[in-house]
Amino acid sequence: MSKAGVFAMALEQLESAAKRLKISDSTLRVLSHPERELTVSCPVVMDDGRIEVFTGHRVQHSNARGPCKGGIRFHQSVTLDEVKALAMWMTWKCAVVNIPYGGGKGGVQVDVTKLSKEEIRRLTRRYTVSIMPIIGPHKDIPAPDVGTNAETMGWIMDTVSMFQGSTVLDIVTGKSIDLGGSLGRREATGRGVMFNTLELLKRLDMQPCRTKVAVQGFGNVGSVSADLLHRQGCRILAVSDVTGAYYHPDGLPIPDMIEYCKTTRHNVLDGFSAPGVSKIDMNDIFGLDVDVFVPAALEKQITIDNVDKIKARAIIEGANGPTSPDAERVLLKKGKYVVPDILANSGGVVVSYFEWVQSIQSFFWDEEEVNKNLQNVIVRSFEAVWKVAQEEKTDLRNAAMMIAVKRVAQAVEERGIFP
């Protein structure tokens, strides 16, 4: 599937759920179209004095259930089609865990590894000003994504605050603790992956201490997922990032690998070594003899071209859209379990919601309370999805989509169409 096919993939998932739910054609047409798409040009003065122009996007899929919510991605592969798909998935993600948000997403087409910190800061501020007319604490609240982090969110918050003339803490989530961020937010997506994995293992009568795991991607989501599953007793046999894949038959030293990444310029694993650890081909991570595979990188990683390699009994989608529909059909036919992205990696947006609430109230929770509330939301949501899957005799993605699409469709229909 080409890059241009990502939104088509999202539409295929929507149409499948809508058909099962018998959603009206009119409501389906509304849900099939983003409410707003903004494309901006961002000229930036580079360190050597020349001017480069970067293309950015912000898409708002639906505000039927509340303000739009979604990350901002800085990556060379960003396209409007991709951002539209990610915004739609955010709508379903918020709905399946039943938080009062709709879906949004943003991105700038840029290779941040080729920019200095000051160039990234100037790009962030220019992009922020360009999308500022459509974002706001009660309109659209950005957050970090691939290529952005808490520092990026701090620059966005400061830029908006300078224009407003007062500090606007609730304009973004995923900020640093010093700037009104929430304890537990950085680990939230990976922690949600861990909770979902444990819930599935319970239902498959599998013990964490006997579970072998491979994790594709070692950024924020992948590294935290690997670390927390490791702490639960799982053996993490392999991880990979953009620099390569690493394998140990008895389990990798995940804490050491995380500490190593802190010492490298772009927080990558390149150059890591430890006794018993071997570097393997990037594509070999798909075919390892493991129980659980966590794709936590980018979209369309498991495709019809490599799906036959997968031996894992369960796939927990730490990334958004990592499994193409045709590949998933093969997995399901083989009896594999796929915990879909809109549920598996929803921990980030759940704690973003907690952060937003805390910022509005100027009343902040301790980390134990954040993590406990996150666990309650994830466990309750997983139970609901599992129950629908059993009752409807369908897979977990269809079940999650049915819950999410039904909630959004009801909101659209109850609100009616303006004017």
Active site residues: 105
Q: Is 52 left (phi over 0), alpha (psi -120 to 50) or beta?
A: beta
SS3 374: helix
SS3 135: coil
SS3 assignment for 222-262: HHHHHHHHHHCCCEEEEEEECCEEEECCCCCCHHHHHHHHC
C-alpha–C-alpha distance, residues 103 and 394, integer Å: 25
C-alpha–C-alpha distance, residues 312 and 306, integer Å: 13
Q: Which residue has the tokens 């990696």?
A: 345
C-alpha–C-alpha distance, residues 195 and 383, integer Å: 12
- Tell me the two tokens of residue 22: 């018998």
The verdict on whether omega for the bond into residue 325 sits within 30 degrees of 0, i.e. cis, is no
- Tell me the two tokens of residue 87: 């915004």
